[in-house]
Structure 1
């Protein structure tokens, strides 16, 4: 089999940390997935689809390359439509000002801590609320050290009720983003 190059202009270099604990079969699955995404067209796609990213998608699908490819292509399609790289913090200042969602610190395993505090809901602009979630997730992912592929989601429901909750129709969108992208 062929292995990916040790350096790439597409930021998809051979990552010894990511591969350190992989079996031979898992490493081959990673090589296969990287080959399937070797022709990415946009800078954003190349920046997103690092070896570490691909390994995360493989783990999410038990190293089934076809399923990981389908999931990652779905994410790329979503990223093209949603364009999380274009979300600017100044566009979300009002939504973020209440402290309803933020990343602060890491656990003992180095996973970023993402806090959601629904009682601090301060906006009825649910599109901006979802954009704030996406922006915050992107920041959490950027804070991950090599070898870290998860975050810890902490939700504090104290003081939460009907008066400060988002409509039931908005929740599935947030759950879908957390689960699939």
Structure 2
């Protein structure tokens, strides 16, 4: 298999389409979102963010990258049970999320623009509907191919959040 080269023009087109789809193809809304994202990235400088807890206590957090799926998308895993036992500040959690997601992005091969997030709910007494409603705010029917009423899959004690788009194709 030959390694595909990164194509900045294609990356730009895919990114612009992603913003448009997430705003129901409303150009002015997508433009505001892009400007907001650029401003946030300038302010936060996510590629430079490190997580001190990860460096001093590897594996201490409940959210981590655990591998790749068959489409070469990064798979991220979060354990609500482990998270409830951690004593970390909101700022620490924020730094860790940025650090983990930026590192997941760095692992993406050309043509892969999404990831899979698995929320392990075992040991929790929260209603799945409450978790579903919380996660639903992060997606719209246009950002995934799932039915608007069920963009997640629930199996046993795991809630799986996946964005599936025709832009991700199997490698190989």
User: When the two structures are superposed, what TM-score results if normalisation uses the length of structure 1?
Assistant: 0.55
Greater strand share, 1 or 2?
2
1:87–1:13 distance in 2 versus 1, CA, 3 Å: closer
Distance 2:88 2:25 in 1: 40
- 2:113 corresponds to 1:118: no
Greater helix share, 1 or 2?
1
Partner residue of 2:8 out of 4, 13, 25: 13
Please, which runs of 5 or more residues in structure 1 have no aligned partner?
A: 1-10, 19-49, 163-171
Distance 2:112 2:23 in 1: 17
Work out whether residues 98 and 120 of structure 1, in 8 Å CA contact, stay in contact via their aligned partners in 2. Answer: no
Q: What do the CA deviations read for 1:33-70 (whole angstroms, capped 9, x no partner)?
A: xxxxxxxxxxxxxxxxx444333323323444322221
1:14–1:80 distance in 2 versus 1, CA, 3 Å: closer
If asked which structure has higher relative contact order (CA below 8 Å, sep 6+), I would say: 2
Moved over 6 A (4+): none
Greater Rg over alpha carbons, structure: 1
Distance 2:136 2:100 in 1: 14
Please name the residue that 1:168 is paired with.
none
Q: In the TM superposition, what is the alpha-carbon distance from 1:104 to its structure 2 partner?
A: 2.0
Alpha-carbon RMSD across the aligned residues, in angstroms, is 3.2
Partner residue of 1:159 out of 123, 128, 131: 123
Please, which runs of 5 or more residues in structure 2 have no aligned partner?
A: 1-5, 127-133, 140-172
1:143–1:124 distance in 2 versus 1, CA, 3 Å: same
